[in-house]
Amino acid sequence: MHEYLDLDRYPLDQEGSAAWADLCATATAALAAEGMFDLENLLLPGVAETIAAEIAPIARTQSFEHRRRHNIYFRPSVPDLPPDHPALREVETIGHTVCADQIPDSTIMAIYRYPPLLRFLAATMGKPALHTMRDPLAKVNVMSYRNGEALNWHFDRSEFTVTLLLQAPDCGGDFHYRSNLRSESDPNYDGVARLLAGEDPEIRTRRLAPGTLNVFRGKNTPHRVSPVEGARDRMVTVFSYYEKPDVMFSDEERIGFYGRAT
Ligand SMILES: O=C(O)CCC(=O)C(=O)O
Ligand SMILES: [Fe+2]
């Protein structure tokens, strides 16, 4: 992995060393304080560009165009809410997905499986271990957002999302999030409605550099990627890890996300 990852700056392969423990402690502290951490420029110079160039032809010609209207909860209804409640306002998401089975021998798949990365991520999340998925489509997705496309407001269904940005667009495609909007005990539907109406002044923006790994705790922190503007697509890899080994999606889930079961 030395040819792809900056293991001098991020000694993922030195588990047990003081440098590894420091890195882990810094990440854990950022997760607790901010709900996220970055490994900025984890990819060595030029590697994000090489991986993006490897995947771009597949993204251009064989990706699944995922276009859908959804609410922030990704659920058809919420038991506490009448269907016309403004917290259920629908938004539109459009993106293009390349699945793991379309890039089986790629560099990005090798990074996804790199055992020291899994052990490091598990440690930062306070979990005994993390496992790659068995699902041949879902384990790694490379999402491209073209001019005008966006990932709209949502709460994640998983506790953490792990992304690796491959290519930033010329304009737009920013990561917006709103901390402390809801908690396990307070769904704050009125606050959600204000956010969706564009009336929340506490939305924050992150602009990541390509080659940066980001771990985000998005279950209670609504977030979106704003519409991309210009000819350069935003390309981001989403790595799916689970505490249990061999997790698979159902056929229905695969059809819903990717338009195909196999
Ligand atoms: O594209 C990103 O930066 C965020 C991805 C995300 O929010 C998700 O996959 O749930
Ligand atoms: Fe998300």
What pLDDT, on a 0 to 100 scale, did the predictor assign at position 50? Answer: 98
Q: Which atom of ligand 1 is nearest to the CA of 236?
A: 1
Ligand 1 contact via 156 beta carbon (within 6 Å): yes
Which pTM does this prediction carry? 0.96
Ligand 1 contact via 101 beta carbon (within 6 Å): no
Q: How many A from CA of 12 to the centre of ligand 1?
A: 23
What average pLDDT does the chain have?
97
Domains of the chain (ranges, CATH numbers) = 18-258 (2.60.120.620)
The secondary structure of the chain in percent helix, strand, coil, rounded to multiples of 5, reads 25, 25, 45
Q: Which helix (H) or strand (E) holds 112?
A: helix 107-113
Query: Which ligand has the shortest distance to the CA of 218?
Result: 2
What pLDDT, on a 0 to 100 scale, did the predictor assign at position 57? Answer: 97
pLDDT digits (tens, 9 = 90+) for 60-114: 999 999 999 999 999 999 998 999 999 999 999 999 999 999 999 999 999 999 9
What pLDDT, on a 0 to 100 scale, did the predictor assign at position 86? Answer: 97
Query: Rounded mean pLDDT of 135-152?
Result: 98
What pLDDT, on a 0 to 100 scale, did the predictor assign at position 94? Answer: 98
Give dist(CA 234, CA 57) in Å, integer.
14
Ligand 1 contact via 226 beta carbon (within 6 Å): no
pLDDT digits (tens, 9 = 90+) for 15-60: 999 999 999 999 999 999 999 999 999 999 999 999 999 999 999 9
State whether residue 104 is helix, strand or coil.
coil
The count of other CB atoms within 10 Å of the CB of residue 160 is 19
Residue 232: Cβ-neighbour burial (10 angstroms; 0-12, 13-18, 19+): middle
What pLDDT, on a 0 to 100 scale, did the predictor assign at position 176? Answer: 97
Q: How far is CA 233 from CA 55, 69, 75, 173, in A?
A: 12, 21, 28, 9
Which DSSP string corresponds to 41-59? T-BPTTHHHHHHHHHHHHH
Cβ–Cβ < 8 Å for 35, 179: yes
The residue count for the chain: 262
